[in-house]
């Protein structure tokens, strides 16, 4: 899930969390809010001018910092898009911080991006923003505001979206999960998912058609102990007639897990 402008992630001081930066059109700031547990603040504790952040060696530029009126949390926003990695900082000055654990706060930061997926043709699939209203594909907190989407819907076509090789766990069984929404001609235009350990032999995971808002797809498959990675491919195939208004397929949030 991406963190977009005006969204906040609540973390406890000293505890790690993930921050995603979504770079779509316009201004987007990376925002996090640090909750100060067990602090005893003086009268100036709620004044932002009494606080500062030691950002260490990070290249992130501090945009602003705001202390909540009750001095229970501090919000910080970064203007520029961060590189993948971590940021570390400490709270400095301001208020009576007796009882506050001032260990360095470490936050894992990575950009929400297209994952390097390979489209079968020019603009067959695009990584783009999608509707955050109740309209198809609908809003889903887990998905965020960006996803892969079919950019063309034509009769008699076959287009595919393929991941890069993904390191897989060593367990005997593997769970493959992703989020999907689709609006296709029911019974005729299919979106199918496949997996492969060697990009030569492909095994079908699923086949869907018709209408569905965002829905989690989850499958368990046997591992191949002789290969180090797995590749997932989605294929959209249409027949020779009928294109539904607004028809498309959306894919996001692929994850590969071990099954105990």
91 shares a domain with 155: no
Last residue of a domain, one of 112, 132, 150: 112
169 shares a domain with 246: yes
Q: What is the pLDDT of residues 17-44, one digit of tens each?
A: 334 434 433 333 344 555 554 444 455 5
Q: How far apart are CA 216 and CA 212, in angstroms?
A: 11
226 shares a domain with 165: yes
Query: Residues near 177 by Cβ (< 8 Å), separated by ≥ 6?
Result: 216, 217, 218, 219, 253, 254, 255, 257
170 shares a domain with 99: no
232 shares a domain with 122: yes
Residue at 240 is within a domain: yes
For 33, the domain range is: 10-112
pLDDT classification of 239: cutoffs 50, 70, 90: very high
- Output the pTM of the full model: 0.62
Contact 65, 73 (CB under 8 A): no
Residue at 2 is within a domain: no
249 shares a domain with 125: yes
What is the count of structural domains for the chain?
2
For residue 107, CA distances in Å to 22, 55, 99, 111 come to 16, 12, 22, 13
176 shares a domain with 74: no
Higher pLDDT, 166 or 14: 166
- Give me the chain's average pLDDT, please: 73
- In this prediction, residue 142 carries a pLDDT of 78
139 shares a domain with 60: no
Phi and psi at residue 256, to the nearest 5°: -120, 125
């Amino acid at each position: 899930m991406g963190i977009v402008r005006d969204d906040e992630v609540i973390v406890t001081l000293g505890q790690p969390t993930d921050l995603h930066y979504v770079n779509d059109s316009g201004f987007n700031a990376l925002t996090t809010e640090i909750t100060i547990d067990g602090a005893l603040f003086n009268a100036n504790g709620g004044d932002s001018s009494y606080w500062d952040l030691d950002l260490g060696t990070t290249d992130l530029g501090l945009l602003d910092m705001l202390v909540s009126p009750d001095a229970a949390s501090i919000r910080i926003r970064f203007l520029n898009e961060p590189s993948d990695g971590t940021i570390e900082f400490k709270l400095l000055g301001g208020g009576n911080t007796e009882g506050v654990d001032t260990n360095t706060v470490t936050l894992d930061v990575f950009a929400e991006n297209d994952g390097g997926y390979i489209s079968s043709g020019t603009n067959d699939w695009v990584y783009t923003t999608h509707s955050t209203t109740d309209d198809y594909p609908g809003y889903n907190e887990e998905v965020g505001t960006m996803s892969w989407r079919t950019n063309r819907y034509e009769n008699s076509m076959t287009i595919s979206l393929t991941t890069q090789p993904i390191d897989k766990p060593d367990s005997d069984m593997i769970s493959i999960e992703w989020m999907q929404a689709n609006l296709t001609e029911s019974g005729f235009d299919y979106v199918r998912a496949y997996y492969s350990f060697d990009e030569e032999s492909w095994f079908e995971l699923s086949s869907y058609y018709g209408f569905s808002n965002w829905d989690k797809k989850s499958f368990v498959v046997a591992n191949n102990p002789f290969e180090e990675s797995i590749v997932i491919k989605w294929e959209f195939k249409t027949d020779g007639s009928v294109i539904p208004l607004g028809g498309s397929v959306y894919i996001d949030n692929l994850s590969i897990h071990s099954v105990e």
